[in-house]
Chain A
Amino acid sequence: MRLVKQLVLTYVLFFAVAIRANTITVCPTCPISSVQEGVKAAADFDTLRIKKGTYKEFNIVVDKPLVIIGENYPVIDGEDQGEIITIVSDNVTIDGLFIINVGTSYTADYAAIRVVKSQHFLIQNVVLEKLFFGIYLEKSKNGKVYHNKIIGDAVEEFNSGNGIQLWYCQNIEVTQNIVQHVRDGIYLEFSDNITIENNTSTNNVRYGLHFMFSNDDVYTNNVFENNGAGVAVMFSKKIKMHNNIFKKNWGTASFGLLLKEINDAEIFGNTFEENTIGINIEGSNRVEYKGNDFLNNGWAVKVRGACYTNVFKNNNFMYNSFDLSYNSKLNDNVFEYNYWSSYTGYDLDKNGIGDVPYRPVKLFSYIVNRTPETIVLLRSLFMDIIDFSEKVSPVFTPDNLMDVRPLMKKWND
């Protein structure tokens, strides 16, 4: 009986809202011919239908709960004047707009869509081009950024903005977005409990995804390809990184994933392919690396010191020029049950685990760290000979650094 009552109540409430919520149509030839006028004319919880056309507007402030829906992608052209849409109210939905020409400034971070101190917002199916900042979430909570396409034209770091930026935000989902050619594809600063899923972040000038001082965030199933440097996770705690693809991040200081001062993170099931450095680690502790694939990277993992009690387990290291590089003689990290394509040992007892340990750090990687030009001697017979002698009696590389239980076959094969 209580259930029926509740249902009835819900229906009544729903209709009450539906009746009260009007739809206002905006088109270039309509009585209301601009979005700004539309917002002014609308009451709370109204729907604004923007018809196809070009609207040359900027500084549209949405200060009441509204649904703004574009039909067939109407164009909102900011003409490089400044910010275009600023949301300062809770419960705002923006859907299906094509926003171009955000103003570039060295003093103000103009965005195509900015959400300020608001909750329960939804930004979806929006296309942004010629932008400075794309979607900028500021001190906001409980919102969604879903299925947007952000295509910038950034060339240099100093005069470009980020695709999706979160600053002091909480509980936000960023899913199925495509971000290209901006500074950082997705940037998080002081933002906790954020979920980043199924996004594609490519060809960005700096990072595909960038965390600063953000904790308890999860990013899964994203693709980061051909960025200045894949993903940077810095000064953050308890980040979960699952099933992402880090690909073709090439260049001098380029990497698939950078960890700097990261504690208690999970890195599971990711693929690192053809990066100059797969993962670059500095000052990171208690990080678990499991079930990742490292394919054809220059360096699969580069450890730059002060990294303790990390665990590498069940990863596949295949065809990397160097599997692992260490710049110190100490090792406090555990490597076990990984598959190494350059492992040459045997498995006489047929338990699937190699009978001799594998040493992933080669003397040559030590030499290359010292004298980078020696990289041209990679794969030469001479190098193989000295690597072999180092393998027999380690002098320059940590002697306890080895996978005592290397797998004979690829993990999960």
Chain B
Amino acid sequence: MIKIENLHKKFGKNVVLSGVDLSIDKGGIFAVLGPNGSGKTTLIKSILGMVLPNKGTITVMDKNIHNSWQYRQEIDYLPQIANFPGNLKVKELIKMIKDLRQKPSDEEKLIALFGLEPFLDKKLSNLSGGTKQKVNLVLTFMFDSPLIILDEPTTGLDPASLIHLKEWIGKEKEKGKTILITSHIMQFVEEISDEIVYLLEGKIYFKGSIKELMVKTNQTDFEHAIVAIATHTDHA
């Protein structure tokens, strides 16, 4: 599905990614983890073409993404900060994204699921952070694309919505989709992800299932395993 070879990226003098090789197969949920500033968002943005690598190639669905934008038609992306043009109403924003993508969509179910009906006629600038995030989720999930990328999907969500989100992600997975997630909520990651990609100092430090991680770090608990892997490298 996604193939990354020898990816380098620096912003000014600050090296963020230094030789990332990653291959993600079709189907399943992949969690990209790592401490703050480890390059998670940069990696995701590289895949989306928002960040242009200094070196290396990225292939999405067997196509090199360099200087290309059409492949994004096959990706649903949830950005980390949900901020939209304030003067638009929720309804109009949804209409607009549909208009821009020109793809069949299924927003009704999602709107009902997150209880957004009362907000449809409100301007985005008047919404709370959590509600905005729900709108953000609707915009992401309403299309039927084989690849879904979620950057901190749980931000600001209430428990009920979080459960709905998890259910929905699960359903998407069952359809055979590939889902890439970053999150700081370890419990959430543990619950849903099939495989973990651990980024550290611009490199893939670990890739494998949660079980493999726990075996590697000699921990019985996922959260501790993550901490251990981070500290382990400090000593290394």
* A and B in direct contact, judged by CB atoms within 8 A: no
